[in-house]
Amino acid sequence: MLIIVGTFLLISSMLLILALKPFKLKRLTAPDPAGSYQQAVDRIEAILAQESELEDLCDECGTILMTHAEKTESVIVFLHGFSSCPDQFRKLGELYFERKFNVYIPRQPRHGLIDRSGNPLKGLSAEELAQFGIETVDVAQGLGERVILIGLSGGGSLTTWLAQVRPDVALAVPISPFMGVSFIPWQITRMVTNLIFLTPDIFFWWDPVTKMDNPNSAPYSYRGYWLHALFENLRLGFAAETDARRVKPAAGAILSITNANDDSVNNRMVKEFERVWRKYGNEYLLEYEFSKELVLPHDLITYDRPDGKPEIVYTKLLELIQ
């Protein structure tokens, strides 16, 4: 009996430690904002030059810059989702460009490659994503007087972290941020995330039935992913939450957008994060939710997704974010 009780207490203690273990990032380089429009363009041209040397980069997946040839009042930066690429935001970016915004859509690390299985994602880390985010905001400083940052899903997790640490972001807009998996109860999401990193890395298909023939995947999207890479996005979001419990978010304002019909991310987990932010005052946080009746998919941005409704989503985003 004592052995059973002792084992139970040991397991309970281990689970409690995993649940309460704080999420931290290793050292990152300090921000180095572009000091001028030309400096920002030079940095983007260097990125494009590096991408041109990648023999395995998809034609439609390079970094995108839409510019009015000078620094504009506002620049919009779009951060694409996990396993997607910049083309996901191309059509929406064009609509903002027509409205006199400069538009920057960078390619996230290890994304947009010809191997669409998702194998290139193996080894992706929260630090790699965070460093990419720092450099992206640095570039954006030279493209617009006001930086508006918009990210979907995994890009939403990165947007959440940047909202916490970058005071030179005027508005951060995480859309359906990946802060938790829909079928994992929000109360144990932190514990599960820590536990995942103690287990061997495993490859999964987004659709285990159709695999590489997934009908809902864009032509350039990865059809699968490595579990640790997926949860590194969560680790990044939880690192932001850990910081938010100590200090208010640095961004000028935050607009959190969720989708009530989302069956991929855990909206309750997003609400819990918003609760942490809201303690600093309502002026820091605005919220909008697309209704369940719209039957929108998790990826509500990709313009040619069979079950998407970009005419509804884009119209509302243009209304909300001006």
Q: Are 152 and 301 in contact (CB under 8 A)?
A: yes
Q: Percent of the chain at pLDDT above 70?
A: 93
CA gap 87, 112 in Å, rounded:
9
Looking at residue 20, what is its pLDDT?
54
Residues above pLDDT 90, as percent of the chain: 87
| Res. 5: pLDDT tops 50 | no
pLDDT at site 14:
54
Distance between CA atoms of residues 61 and 274, nearest Å: 32
Query: So what's the pLDDT on residue 283?
Result: 74
DSSP 267-293: HHHHHHHHHHHHTT-GGGEEEEEE-GG
Residues 120 and 129: their CA atoms lie apart, in Å, by 14
- The count of other CB atoms within 10 Å of the CB of residue 285 is 20
Phi, psi of 60 (to 5 degrees): -90, 5
- CB proximity list for 160: less than 8 A, separation 6 or greater: 151, 172, 174, 177, 179, 236, 237, 240, 273
Per-residue pLDDT of 271-284, as tens digits, reads 998 999 888 876 77
For position 10, what pLDDT does the model report?
Answer: 45
Per residue in 149-175, pLDDT tens? 999 999 999 999 999 999 999 999 999
Phi, psi of 279 (to 5 degrees): -65, -15
Structural domain includes residue 24 = no
Question: In the predicted model, is pLDDT for residue 8 greater than 70?
Answer: no
**HSE of 48, CA atoms in CB hemisphere, 13 A:** 12
Domain boundaries, position 110: 64-320
Q: Which of 97-101, 183-187, 212-216 has the highest mean pLDDT?
A: 97-101
Q: Is residue 51 part of a domain?
A: no
Q: State the CATH number of the domain containing residue 228.
A: 3.40.50.1820
Q: In this model, does residue 9 exceed pLDDT 70?
A: no
Q: Answer yes or no: is 10 within a domain.
A: no
Instruction: Say whether pTM exceeds 0.95.
Output: no
Q: Indicate whether 230 belongs to any domain.
A: yes
Average pLDDT, the chain: 93
290 Cβ contact partners less than 8 Å away, ≥ 6 residues apart: 257, 258, 259, 260, 261, 296, 300, 313, 316
Note whether residue 169 is domain-resident: yes
Angle, vertex CA 193, rays to CA 187 and CA 195, nearest 5: 105
Number of domains in the chain: 1
For residue 261, the surrounding DSSP H or E stretch is none
With beta carbons less than 8 A apart as the criterion, state whether 272 and 308 touch.
Answer: no
- Rounded to an integer, the average pLDDT of 185-204 is 94
Residue 122 has pLDDT above 70, yes or no: yes
| 258: in domain | yes
| Residue 30 maps to a domain | no
CA 296 to chain centroid: 18
57: which DSSP letter?
B
Does residue 215 lie within any of the structural domains? yes
CB contact at 8 A, 170 and 148: yes
Token pair recorded at residue 171: 């508005």
92-121 confidence digits (pLDDT tens): 999 999 999 999 999 999 999 999 999 999
At 281 the pLDDT is 76
